[in-house]
């Protein structure tokens, strides 16, 4: 069984400067952390707001979830951090 993403919730983690979201492998919750460098915001990274990052995440959601599923299939870890390397 692979990871699924039935919950569309996501949040911005100010401390770690990433977007957090969850997936599920059966009954196990998998925490994903998406580096802000992945998100294309119209403003520079320094001036982008939480809302900018979340809007960018929403616009890129299908591609992000595909990369997340691929990264999880390789790592099989309860936490997965996605960076630009996962999108090449």
CATH number at residue 81: 3.30.160
14 found inside a domain: yes
Is the per-residue pLDDT at 41 higher than 90? no
Number of domains observed in the structure of the chain:
1
In whole angstroms, what is the distance from residue 30 CA to residue 21 CA?
A: 9
43 found inside a domain: yes
Largest CA distance in the chain: 40
28 found inside a domain: yes
Helix, strand, coil % over all residues of the chain, rounded to 5: 40, 30, 35
Q: Give the pLDDT mean for 29-52.
A: 85
User: What's the pLDDT tens digit per position in 66-85?
Assistant: 999 999 999 999 999 999 99
Q: What percent of the chain has pLDDT over 90?
A: 82
Is the per-residue pLDDT at 58 higher than 70? yes
User: What's the pLDDT tens digit per position in 5-18?
Assistant: 999 999 999 999 99
DSSP label of 65: H
48 found inside a domain: yes
Domain containing 33 equals 10-87
1 found inside a domain: no
In whole angstroms, what is the distance from residue 47 CA to residue 35 CA?
A: 16
Instruction: Match 């969850």 to its residue by tokens.
Output: 22
- What is residue 5's predicted lDDT score, i.e. its pLDDT? 97
């Amino acid at each position: 069984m692979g990871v699924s993403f039935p919950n569309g919730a996501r949040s911005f983690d100010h401390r770690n400067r990433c977007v957090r979201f969850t997936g599920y492998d059966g009954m196990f919750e998998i925490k994903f952390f998406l580096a802000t460098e992945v998100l294309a915001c119209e403003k520079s990274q320094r001036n982008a707001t939480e809302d900018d990052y979340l809007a960018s995440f929403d616009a890129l959601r299908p591609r992000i979830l595909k990369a997340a599923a691929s990264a999880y299939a390789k790592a099989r870890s309860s936490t997965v951090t996605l960076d630009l390397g996962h999108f090449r």
